[in-house]
Structure 1
Amino acid sequence: MARKTKKTRKSRAAFNAPTPTPGVTRRGTLRLLRGAAIAVPAVGLAGYFGTGYVRASICEFDLTKIGDGLPSIVQVHDPQCPLCSALQRQTRRALRPYNADDFHFLVANVATLDGRLFAQNHGVSHVTLVLLDGDGRHVGTLHGPIDDDNLRASIAAHLDEYG
């Protein structure tokens, strides 16, 4: 029988030894707390602004506001159309100087039944702004894309006349 050398005993002992498991350390806990202190406010702010955007979008899709005494600007919008999205951003920018309580900016989404019916009733397709008076009567149509100056002038004339 062969005699075991010290080297063999040591290597087997090192091989069979349990690996140390990392425990909870003060440094690890502080690192976790620092990450949470940064993440919680960031997530909270994103949620706050996200819900505001969603609420505004839901308000814009409410076509029942038409004819309630305020003039309306209704965009016939296809969510898959990049020109429609560009017109929506452009129109929102053009409407910023006005008091939002004096008119309605609404979106008739052609992907929904209400949006399709609105577009059919007014004989328009997407990338279009339909201008309505306070009683909901069609008084004008703007077919997009539109340059900024013409859009601002058309909106100003509409809101001055019917607002």
Structure 2
Amino acid sequence: MKKQRRKRPQKRGVTTSDPAALARNATDANRRKFLRLARNAAIALPVLAGATVFSVQSVQATICEADLTKIGKGKPAVVQVHDPNCSLCRQLQRQARKALKSFDGEAVEFLVADINTAKGSAFAARYGVPHVTLLLFDGAGEMVQIVRGPSDTDSLHKVIAAHLAAHG
């Protein structure tokens, strides 16, 4: 008994030596590649644009927060003496930002003195404070209160509210 051979499915495309058919097949393959590339680019472009916008806004916010010259320009300020490598500093920063969200952004400046920079280190030395510290300034630039170490958001909210009531 002879074994029957299975028929292999034919490959897609043209299997002829006709030059016109080969050219059409190559054109169709190039068109599919181009359309696939265009689809992927159309998907990736908004994602990259969103990431770029987020990054630019984050950098701008960081630059704005690092501008210690805003102290004494008429608005009360909360300045964090911060070390980005310190987990307690990052915790205090999160808590301070949460506490400040409930206040009008125009009412108080939140600034960060990074002790890894020359300006931040000089600022901390001028006031004799270590990192993980908040300094509260009135609108004239006078330091009126020091909050040391991380604290819960509610406590920070109360301290900032009292500060703004007295100096805002």
TM-score band (shorter)? 0.7 to 0.9
Unaligned runs of 5+ in 2: 1-24
Residue matched to 2:108? 103
Number of residues of Structure 1 aligned to a counterpart in Structure 2: 142
TM-score by length of 2: 0.80
Q: CA deviation at 1:39?
A: 0.4
Determine which of 23, 30, 34 is the counterpart of 2:35: 30
Residue matched to 1:4? none
Q: Does 1:137 align with 2:145?
A: no
Determine which of 78, 82, 88 is the counterpart of 1:77: 82
Mapping 1:140-155, distance limit 5 Å:
140-155=145-160
Determine which of 53, 57, 65 is the counterpart of 1:60: 65
RMSD, matched Cα = 1.4
Q: CA deviation at 1:25?
A: 2.5
Q: Which amino acid aligns with 1:31?
A: R
CA distance in 2, matches of 1:65, 1:25: 58
Deviations 1:44-91 (CA, angstroms, capped at 9, x unpaired): 011111111111110000001111111110000011111111111111
Q: CA deviation at 1:136?
A: 1.0
Q: Which amino acid aligns with 1:65?
A: K
Residue matched to 1:94? 99
SS at match of 1:101: coil
CA distance in 2, matches of 1:28, 1:149: 57
CA distance in 2, matches of 1:161, 1:128: 20
SS at match of 2:78: strand
Q: Which amino acid aligns with 2:130?
A: S
CA distance in 1, matches of 2:49, 2:73: 36
Question: Is this contact kept in 1: 2:82–2:113, CA < 8 A?
Answer: yes
Determine which of 115, 119, 125 is the counterpart of 2:120: 115
CA distance in 2, matches of 1:69, 1:31: 57
Unaligned runs of 5+ in 1: 1-21
TM-score by length of 1: 0.82
Question: Is this contact kept in 1: 2:99–2:154, CA < 8 A?
Answer: no
Identity %: 51
CA distance in 1, matches of 2:37, 2:108: 49
Following TM superposition, where does structure 1 have runs of at least 4 consecutive aligned residues deviating by more than 6 angstroms?
A: none
